Structure formats: structure tokens, C-alpha cells
Amino acid sequence: MTRVCRTAFIALATTAIISPLGSANAEELTVMATGGAWQAALRQAWFEPFAKKANVKLNEQEYTGELGKIKAMVETGNVPIDLVTVETSTVLQGCDAGVLIRLDYSKIAERSKFLPGTALDCGVGIDVYGDVLAYDTTVLKEAPTSVLDIFDTKRFPGKRAMRKAPAQNLEWALMADGVPAADVYKVLASPEGVDRAFKKLDSIKKDIVWWEAGAQPPQLLASKEVVMTTAWNGRIQNAIDQDKRPFALVWNNQIVEYDMIAIPKGAKNLDLAYKYLAYAAEPEVSAQLGRFIPYGPVRADATPFVPKEVLPKLPTAPDHMKAYLVSDVEFWGDQGEDLVKRFNAWLAQ
Amino acid sequence: MTSVAMPAFSVRGRDRSESLRPLALAAPLLLLLVFSFGAPIVALLSRAVYEPTIANALPRTAEALRADGGAGVPAEPVFVALAADLKQAQAAGAVFELAKNLNTRLPGARSQVLRAARLASQNQAASKEAMIKAAPLLGEQQSWAAIRSGVHPFTSFFLLNAFDLKWTNDGTIGAVPSGQAVFLRVFGRTFLVATIVTLATLALGFPLAYLITRLRPAMAALVLVLVLLPFWTSILVRTAAWTVLLQKYGLLNDLLLWLGLTSDRLELMYSRTGLIIAMTHIQLPFTLLPIYSVMRSVPPSLMRAAQSLGARPFTAFWRVYLPQVIPGVLAGCLLTFILCLGYYITPVLIGGASDQLISNFIANYVNAELNWEMAAALSFVLLASTLGLYVAMTRYLGLDLFKMG
Amino acid sequence: MLLSQYPTTGERLRAAALWFWCILVLVFLVVPIFVPVPLSFNSGSFFTFPLAGLSTRWYEVVLGTPRWRAAIGNSLLIGFGATVLATILGTLTAIGLSDPKFPARRLVVPLLISPLIVPVVVTAVGTYLFYARIGLANTYAGIILAHTVLASPFVVVTVGASLTGFDRNLMRATSILGAKPHIGFFRVMLPLILPGVLSGAAFAFVTSFDEVVVVQFLANADQRTLPLEMFTGLREQLSPAITAAATLMMALSILLLIVANLLARRSRRDASVLVE
């Protein structure tokens, strides 16, 4: 028994030492993000400089990007976080569910300075990323030329990975079925259009491996589990630049999207949260993220501050904008819930 | 388990206190279980039938509907009441939650409700005609069926939905459109996977359990340790091991190719086969150990007696041995089956999109869809089938999974 | 003992077939457990064979980086708290239950074992929503309580099993000889049932140390445990650090298995009582 006690004591002592000691007096700001390489980039580009500049303690938390935990916090009135990064579609969901507050843009920046669709009621954009196609150059002999090649199982046989969500996949399915990019959301708004998209997805369903977390696509390529995968450009670029993987990106027909940041209802350090949002929205500051992961700023006047060597890797580089689609936030806000349900039913079949 | 014969020492007056003392010993744990296990689960399950958002947001509409009394699209006063409710909800910021909840019951209602509320708060939609123009769904009978059921905080919507059922316009229960029918399929899949895994563990575990009872004690102890080793190893560790083994360029595929059993690399990760292999591995000790503990108590001389009386080996096994070990077999299989129904980790990590079991759907409804009522309803069905199975087996087959004093 | 004294050919064939099958089953049971071990010494950052070279760099990651160390510390703290609570409460309950006068046994026993039967996702979601309301979500206390609930049935069952061999007349004898009840408990009963109590505690510890579903809901970033770290790792970023963590966890399991086995043998039962 004494040995058990001693082990336990050591365990307790270790925990006491390694668990972060909250300092009671300094101002604190708690940010929750979705982890991985992306959060590391946010830390270097914004969190640490802001903490130094505003002389506050900035705590980081991680989550899966799903709002369930925040909803539980809000429902019980105990909200230990002040800022949370979310996807665009999640912003609308959280807005409706009363989980995120409606932002007061007078405390952040002039709303018109942001790119269209990046300054929403409950969330403000932080970066621009591209949904692209990625493959391992040592596996595929013939290089795909468009994201839509993922539907071509004749030329590119084998498993392919797509994100486990209807967004983007339905758009690509329609484009692969011959719908021009400009008409995609118009067609998708009709029941026949939705049927058509699912029918196109059906044609490759048995070859699809579904990914959920952004770090999975490079992993799936590395283990050769799939021959190609849709992915967020930054994750693949980092695998190429930092891990020296023989991967390549296909930009043709990319879908352009935005990451957002929001304030949960009941956040305790509201003023400081707004101060952070205002700081990160400054043109020069907002360009910093590109130094750590190739995602672009959400305001046009920030582009001059993006380092020259990063520009060609951004989704907004002229070479990458020959054929693209901008994700329609309004459409997904209206139809998202139905389409997710339909998508899940389709998956289960 | 034998009970010790006990001399009757007790004096009559002390009977009560003597039966209270053992209860007092168990009281702390029982209280903990009731408050931190029983209460949360009851609270969770109550969400499946109690959902007051719509009732709270539409009090005037509810009253007007009662006064209206009809079944189809109601008359003018109800629309006026609805406009007033929407106006207030818009002012109070509750309209988004209302729209989201109505959308769950009435797909496509979200944007129409929001538009109607926006107009109502500008006093531009105070009549039936104007409301239907803003929200065409309000001109349809099925929308009002949904609203009428929604203004009651107690609802059967989610429980019915868990069986892919809903109330139809004419007040009967019918199936949901095939595009939305998910759950029966998922429950069926969960039961199918549980059945296959149970049978697989039985086929692998029964002979091994038999062999252990026939080994010399030292050897038997060694084999038992080998069986217990995975049992004591973290599920995460074993799942991690299987992700290594099952990968396309993993060891299992290497082995199969080398043995010449397959000509191509099999897709085992993110597949049903991979999931079943990993689950069988994790569950095997759970099936095996109860079987073994019963087999141990069957004297081997019985089989020999049967054979010396002229029974063929198979007959002796079938007629003499098997009936005696059946309780162990049932207990082991029941334990594995019940545990399989609740699997969550392994399907996430090894199963593909069409191999997710009911627990995965519950977690998804809680975390991603923010539809806790649906999660509660699915939990209710899962819990009811698990407990039902357990009770049936213990009652009617006289089984006791966890024999106690 | 598989064969009779004068085995026939059929008997020999059957025995050989049985051995063959059982060896395959044992290979299936045991080999996968050890697969992560060699991978954990891989010097490359891949999760696959063949190995790039040997190194202990992933152990340095697991034992050296704050993130993994915090996870190990959390797992030990939570496991220890839940073990102590579950062992004390479970032992008391088992002693109470072993009294033939225990009232309403038919109601109490199902309640006691229900944490084993209720699907863990249902427990996790229910506990999460309930604890959030009373301020226990995202706290160590909340996770320890939830794990105590999950681990307690194992203690009750194991201690209960060791109590069946305990002669209650001993307790009567001590009380007739004038000893107070707690003296009788510590001097007479506890030493006799101690092996059962300790193996119950080992079971409780492993239950908590292995648990990930409840933690996934109840913990925030400060309370991440080792299994949770592995779960997120497996789901998102496969690195050989996971195999190193797995190897460490397995070493601990083997150690506990040996301890529990020795204890069980001391109480003249073999390991199978652990699941009876």
C-alpha cells in the first residue's frame, strides 16, 4: 500500500507542477481553435504577438470544430472561452442556435473593407483557403489537371478521399456533371439539382474514403491508402515544405473558403475579445498568417503586406484563379441542415 | 457461490437495525450512482420527449389554434397571433432558435420563418394572405400539423423519428421519406455487426476455453495469461495496433500477399471487414472467460463415462458436455453482444462512413448537429434494447452475468 | 490430459486439430498487441513497416513534451482518484451485500452493475449535459466521479467474490470477544479479503486509465488524458509517438496484470475470478 501511496503522491505532484498555473490578476483571454498545424500558425502569427502587445495572458484551447461543447457552456451559463475559430457554415449554425453573439463591427473594423462574405453577423473572417485536390507524385504516373478528375475512376483507378460533408462535394459533383461554375448554386437549389449531384457522387461512392479532420488528407496520401484526396491547400503545402513529402496540388476548379472567428454568448472578457478582433483585422497584422501557413488575408488592402515568396502559394494567386468557385455562405445557411441530413442518409445507404 | 450456514443469533428487536447496517455500508456508492449516473441518464432521456422551444416562442399561436379547433390550414386569427409571436421572438432574439427547431420538423422552414419574422417585426405581415406570401409553407396542411404538435412541449416526434416514422397529415403514423430514413438501417447494422462479432468470438473462443481446461495447471495458467493480456491492454492501444495491421501497406496485407492468399492488396482500413476483425479481437476475452469458468466446473470424467458407456465422441460432446456449459456460452455471448451494441471508438477509427454504429450517430447529434433531442431519442432506443436484452436473458434463461454473493 | 490413456487415431486427429486451431487463435489474440512495440522504436516519422532505423526519439517526445507529459499526469491523477474512491465505496458495498439480511437486493444489484451495461456513449452524453449544469464539466472532480461510477462494478464484483470464501462467523467471534466493529474489520476481515480488494483496485485503475469516451465529452484542453491524446492522434495525425505511448501503456497493463494475477493466486483462485 505504501508504494501505491507514493506513486500516487508523485503523480499528484507531477500534475501540480505541469498543469498551467493561472495567474489571478493579469488580464486573460482564452481562444479555442481546431488544433494542428493551423493553430500553431495562428499562435505564431497572432496569438503570441497580441499577448505581448496588449500585455495579457492568452490561453489556448483545442476542440474538434463542432459546436456541441460551446452549446453546453452557453446553456449552463459557464463559458470559459472568449473567442473560438469556426468554419463559415458553423457560424450560421451557431448564430441560429444562439450560441454565438452578433458582432458589433464598430469595435472591429470597417465592415466594407472585408472581402464579400467574410464579415458575417456572428463571425469575422481570418483567412482565405482553397479546397483543392492533392496526390502523391510517386504514385500517380499521370498528373490530374482538375479537382474534377476525382470523378474519373477510369483514368485514375483506386480509392480517393473526400471530406465527410455535403459542402464542396455537391458543387464538384455538379461541375463534373457539366454544370458551369456560375450556375452551380442555382442548380443545387432545386430538388432535381440535388438529385443530380448525389447521382454523380453515387458513381464513385464505393471508391471514396471519407476524411473529417484537416490533418487526415496528407496522412492518407502518406500511407498510400488513397491515390488522391481533396484537401485544404495549407495542410498539403506544409507536408511538402516541412515534411518533404512528394505531394502535388491541383488548383483548377478549387473552391475558395474562409475561416472565421467568433465570440460565444456569455464570454467573460468581451472587451478584450473585441480588442483582439480589431488587432487581427489590421491589414498588416492580418497578412502575417501567410508566413506560417499559405492562407491569404480576408481583406484586399492586406495583400501588399504578404511576403513575396508566399504569394504564389496562396489560393488567390493569379495562377490558381483560372477556374474557381467561391463557396456560397447564404446557400449553405439555408439548405445546409437539409443537405447534411440527406448526405448522412445517403452515406448510410 | 455457496452461502454460509448461519446460526440464528439475532434478537427480534434488533432485526431492523441489522438489516439497515448492510444497507448503510452500500449507501455511499448507491447515492453516488443515483446522483451522478442515474439522474444524468434520466435527464438526458427526458429531452427525447420534452422540447419546449416552439411552445415558449409561440404562446399566442397556441392559444389561437386551440380556439380555431380545425385540422387543416387555420383561419385568420391564428395568423395574426403567429405574426405577433414572431415579432416578439424577433425582438427577443429567439427567432433563430425557433426557426432551427421548426426546420427540424419541417425541412425548408428556416429561411421562410426568418423572412416572415422580419416582415412581422416591420408590421408588414399581419394578415393570413401576407403571411402565406412571406412563407408559402404556411399555406400547407402539413406545416400546420407540425406547428400544432410543436406547440405542445411534450412530443413524440423524436422517438418516432428514431424509428424513421412520423405523424402524417391525417393523424396516423407513417414512414419518413426514403431520403431521410437513416436510423432503422443504422440500428440494423449495429445488431448485424454485434451478431457477427459475437459468433466469431464464440467460434474462436470456445475451442480455446476447452483446451485450457484440459491442460496441465502450469500450462493452463500460461495460456490464461496470454488471453488476459489483451483483456488488460487499453482499447486504444489495440485499435492503434489494428490501424497499423490493416493499412493497405500494412502487415496483414503483406502477410496475405506473401502467403499467396490474395493477389491484390485488400482495402481493410475504413471497411466493415476491418471493423469486425478488430472488434472480434477486442471482444474475444469477454466471450471466452465466462465460458472457461463454467467449463472448469464440469468434471472431465463425465465425458469419459459417457464414452465408456458407448456414446460416440460427438454424441458425448453434444448430449453430455454441451448442455452443461451452455450457461457459460450464453453469458459470454450476451456480454459481448451487449458491449458490441455500444461500440464507439473502433468504428470511428477503423470503420468507414457506412460502418458507423448507433453510438457514433448519438455522438454526432450531440457534437455536430446540436440536436440533443434526437441524440436523447436514439440513446433511449439503444438503452432500451440493451436493457431489454439483458433482462430477458437473465429472467428467462436464469443467467447471471455478474454472479454475486 | 487432452488424450485418454490409450488414444485412438480419431482422438489424436481431433486433438491435433484442436491444438492447431487454438494456436491460431492465440496468435490472433497476442500478436497484434505487440505490433506497436517495434514501431515505437522507429527513427522515421512513418507509421508503417519497414522501419527506417532504430531510435528512442518517440519516447523522448512522449516523456518530454509538455503536451504528452500533461496527458500522462492527468491520466495518473484521474486514475488514482477514481481508484481510491471506487475501491473504498465498492468494498463497503460488497461487504454490505454479502450480509444475507441485505434488503431489496433484487433492486440494488442491477443498479450496481448498470454502469457496465449502459452503453458508454449514453453515459457520457448524459453525464456531460448534467455535469455541465451543476458546474462539474471540465473539472478533474467531474471526471474522477464519472470514472468512479464506471469502475465501481468491478470492485463490487471482485470483492464480492473474495467475500464468498469469508466466514462471517469470524466477525461474530470478534464482536463476542468485545472488539468494536471497525477493529474487527481492519484486523480480521480486511487482511483476508485484501487480495480481492487490491485486484478490484487494479481493475478500477485500468478502467479509468483506458477510458476515452467520457473524457472526450467531459474534459477540456487542461484535462486531456493519455487515451484521449491517443484517440485524437489516431484520428488526425498518426505519428509514431502514439505507438510509443501505446507501448508504455501496455507495459503498465502487463505490470498490473501480473500483480493482479499474483494477488488472485494468493487468494487461492486463479485469474478467472476477475471476470466472474
Query: How many residues does the structure list for chain A?
Result: 349
All chains having 3 or more CB pairs closer than 8 angstroms to chain B: A, C
**C48 touching A, CB under 8 A?**
yes
B13 or A27, higher pLDDT: A27
Question: A337 vs B185: CB contact, 8 Å cut-off?
Answer: no
> What cell does B384 get?
432500451
CA–CA separation, B62 and B78 (whole Å)? 8
Cα nearest neighbour of C223 on chain A: A19
Instruction: Name the residue facing A337 among B103, B189, B269 (closest C-beta).
Output: B103
The DSSP bridge pattern shows strands B165-167 and B173-175 to be antiparallel
The DSSP bridge pattern shows strands A160-163 and B165-167 to be unpaired
B230 CB neighbours in chain C (<8 A) are 29-30, 32-33
pLDDT for residue B346: 94
Residues C153, C154, C157, C162, CA torsion sign: negative
Question: A19 vs C73: CB contact, 8 Å cut-off?
Answer: yes
pLDDT for residue A202: 95
Instruction: Name the residue facing A80 among C46, C66, C138 (closest C-beta).
Output: C138
pTM score: 0.88
CA–CA separation, B96 and B99 (whole Å)? 5
Instruction: Name the residue facing C238 among A20, A219, A243 (closest C-beta).
Output: A219
The list of chain A residues with pLDDT below 50 reads: 1-25
pLDDT for residue C46: 63
Question: C48 vs B244: CB contact, 8 Å cut-off?
Answer: yes
Domain ranges in chain B are 53-153, 183-397
Size of interface B-C (CB pairs under 8 A): 305
Question: C25 vs B32: CB contact, 8 Å cut-off?
Answer: no
Instruction: Name the residue facing A20 among C46, C129, C222 (closest C-beta).
Output: C222
Instruction: Reduce the DSSP state of residue B50 to 3 states and report it.
Output: strand
Q: Which residues pair with A325 in a beta bridge?
A: A255
Question: C238 vs A73: CB contact, 8 Å cut-off?
Answer: no
Instruction: Name the residue facing C133 among A20, A76, A215 (closest C-beta).
Output: A76
CA–CA separation, C73 and A7 (whole Å)? 11
CA–CA separation, B369 and B372 (whole Å)? 8
Of C72, C75, C80, which to mutate for an interface test with A (greatest number of A Cβ within 10 Å)?
Answer: C80
Buried-exposed string C133-168: b where 16+ CB fall within 10 A, e elsewhere = beebbbbbebbbbbbbbbbbbbbbbbbbbbbbbbee
What is the value of ipTM here, to two decimals? 0.86
In chain A, which residues touch C (CB < 8 A)? 7-8, 11-12, 14-15, 18-20, 35-36, 60-62, 69, 72-73, 75-76, 78, 80, 212-216, 219, 222-223, 243
Residues A28, A33, A35, A37, CA torsion sign: negative
A289-303, C31-45, C222-236: range with highest mean pLDDT: A289-303
Give DSSP secondary structure letters for A139-196: T-SSPP-SGGGGG-TTTS-S-EEEESSSTTHHHHHHHHTT--GGGHHHHHTSHHHHHH
Of A87, A212, A341, A343, which to mutate for an interface test with B (greatest number of B Cβ within 10 Å)?
Answer: A341
Of A34, A64, A66, which to mutate for an interface test with B (greatest number of B Cβ within 10 Å)?
Answer: A66
Class for the domain spanning B183-397: mainly alpha
Q: How many CB atoms lie within 10 A of CB A284?
A: 11
Question: B207 vs C18: CB contact, 8 Å cut-off?
Answer: yes
Confidence of residue C47 (pLDDT cuts 50, 70, 90): low
Contacts of the segment A99-102: beta carbons below 8 A, 24+ positions apart: A99/A67, A99/A70, A99/A71, A99/A74, A99/A264, A99/A265, A99/B370, A100/A70, A100/A262, A100/A263, A100/A264, A100/A265, A101/A262, A101/A263, A101/A264, A101/A265, A101/A267
Question: C2 vs B214: CB contact, 8 Å cut-off?
Answer: yes
Question: B100 vs A97: CB contact, 8 Å cut-off?
Answer: yes
pLDDT for residue B96: 83
Q: What values do phi and psi take at C186, rounded to 5?
A: -75, -35
**C167 touching B, CB under 8 A?**
yes
Buried-exposed string B250-259: b where 16+ CB fall within 10 A, e elsewhere = bbbbeebeee
Confidence of residue B302 (pLDDT cuts 50, 70, 90): confident
CA–CA separation, B400 and B330 (whole Å)? 10
Size of interface A-B (CB pairs under 8 A): 77
B247 CB neighbours in chain C (<8 A) are 47-48
**Cα–Cα–Cα angle for B72, B76, B80, rounded to 5 degrees:** 115
Question: A223 vs B96: CB contact, 8 Å cut-off?
Answer: no
Give DSSP secondary structure letters for B123-163: T---SHHHHHHH-GGGGSHHHHHHHHHHTSSB-SHHHHHHT
Q: Which residues pair with A28 in a beta bridge?
A: A57
User: Which residues, 6+ apart, have CB-to-CB distance to A70 below 8 Å?
Assistant: A32, A79, A81, A84, A94, A99, A100, A264
The DSSP bridge pattern shows strands A324-326 and A28-33 to be unpaired
CA–CA separation, B144 and B161 (whole Å)? 18
Question: A219 vs C237: CB contact, 8 Å cut-off?
Answer: yes
Instruction: Name the residue facing A19 among C70, C129, C133 (closest C-beta).
Output: C70
The CATH code of domain C70-275 reads 1.10.3720.10
**C9 touching B, CB under 8 A?**
no
Residue indicated by cell numbers 453515459: C123
pLDDT for residue A6: 46
CA–CA separation, C182 and A5 (whole Å)? 22
Tens-place pLDDT, residues B165-187:
988 777 788 898 877 788 999 99
pLDDT at C263 over 80: no
CA distances from residue A239 to B160, B368, C53 in whole angstroms, order as listed: 47, 28, 21
**Residue A68, min C-alpha distance to chain C (Å):** 9
pLDDT for residue B3: 37
Residue indicated by cell numbers 402539413: B142
**Quick one: what percent of chain B has pLDDT higher than 90?**
43
> What cell does B67 get?
380556439
pLDDT for residue C266: 66
CA–CA separation, C59 and C53 (whole Å)? 15
Q: How many CB atoms lie within 10 A of CB B171?
A: 8
C169 CB neighbours in chain B (<8 A) are 4, 6-7
**CB–CB of B306/B320 below 8 Å?**
yes
Tens-place pLDDT, residues C76-89:
999 999 999 999 99
B179 CB neighbours in chain A (<8 A) are 342, 345-346
**CB–CB of C233/C216 below 8 Å?**
no
**CB–CB of A170/A177 below 8 Å?**
no
**Residue B395, min C-alpha distance to chain A (Å):** 35
A35 CB neighbours in chain C (<8 A) are 232, 236
Tens-place pLDDT, residues B319-363:
889 998 998 899 899 989 999 999 999 999 999 888 999 999 999
pLDDT at C233 over 90: no
pLDDT at B287 over 60: yes
Mean pLDDT of C177-206: 86
Q: How many CB atoms lie within 10 A of CB B297?
A: 10
SS3 content of chain C, % helix, strand, coil (to 5): 80, 0, 20
Residues A59, A61, A66, A70, CA torsion sign: negative
- Quick one: which H or E segment has residue C87? helix C66-98
Confidence of residue C98 (pLDDT cuts 50, 70, 90): confident
Size of interface A-C (CB pairs under 8 A): 69
**CB–CB of C212/C225 below 8 Å?**
yes
pLDDT for residue A17: 41
**Cα–Cα–Cα angle for B36, C221, A292, rounded to 5 degrees:** 160
**B265 touching A, CB under 8 A?**
no
Mean pLDDT of C165-188: 83
Mean pLDDT of C19-34: 94
pLDDT at B108 over 80: no
Question: A36 vs C69: CB contact, 8 Å cut-off?
Answer: no
- Quick one: which H or E segment has residue A130? strand A124-136
Name which of A278, A248, A221 is nearest A54 in CA terms. A278
pLDDT for residue B15: 57
